[in-house]
Amino acid sequence: MLKIFSTIILKLIGWHTDVTLPEEKKYVLIGAPHTTNWDLPIGLLCFWSAPIRLTWVGKKQLFIGPFDYLFRALGGTPVDRSIHTGFIEQIAHQFDSREEMIFGLTPEGTRSRTEYWKTGFYYLALQAKVPICLAYVDYPSRTIGFGEMLYPGGDIKKDFEQIALFYKDKTGKIPQNQGPVKIRDKPSASTVQEN
């Protein structure tokens, strides 16, 4: 019923999906570009129409009142962004303990423009030994879908080149909020000593 409802709603609002479900039963799904709150409801409609059961995290401030129950029922888990310890290990353990798991997140981490992507999804996939599904939303074509699967090899710069290539022609609802697909360079020992 939910699949039919979601498919109808997407058609009514002029969106179409481009989803071929991966054969893998466990993977990290990243969604980009993320420039507006509208990405979440459109994404959920896509997942329900597929249908897939997605596990995702959102800032704890979203999980208040009736939204707490609703978001949890939709696979959401609140996260406190001010605490940065143990998150990857916790989610990797969930991957180990389940036969099927699709963990979704937005690597930009915010709807505002950022110059660098957060890399937690990459290290999570490495630790959990699962691939990364490159999912996208493209507002000009009103398409949402799943792209290629990336099997991280540990060379994050090389793998991010492939990720950037995939997302280069995808545009968010608010293009000026869309930053580049790149990671922050780690300072070298000499740079740290100079500062």
Give pLDDT, residue 83. 65
Q: Quick one: how many helices (H) and strands (E) in the chain?
A: 7, 7
CA dihedral 81, 77, 94, 112 (to 10 degrees): -50
Q: For 144-172, give the DSSP string.
A: EEEEEEE---S-HHHHHHHHHHHHTT---
What is the arithmetic mean of pLDDT over 24-51?
91
Q: Cis peptide leading into 66, omega within 30 of 0? A: no
Find out whether 27 and 149 touch, Cβ atoms under 8 Å: yes
Flag whether 13 is in a domain: no
Indicate if the pLDDT at residue 86 is higher than 80. no
Flag whether 102 is in a domain: yes
Instruction: Give the predicted TM-score (pTM) of the model.
Output: 0.83
Total count of domains within the chain: 1
Q: Provide the domain limits for residue 112.
A: 27-176
What is the arithmetic mean of pLDDT over 110-133?
92
Flag whether 9 is in a domain: no
Flag whether 140 is in a domain: yes
CATH number at residue 62: 3.40.1380
Give pLDDT, residue 61. 84
Flag whether 85 is in a domain: yes
Find out whether 3 and 48 touch, Cβ atoms under 8 Å: yes
Flag whether 99 is in a domain: yes
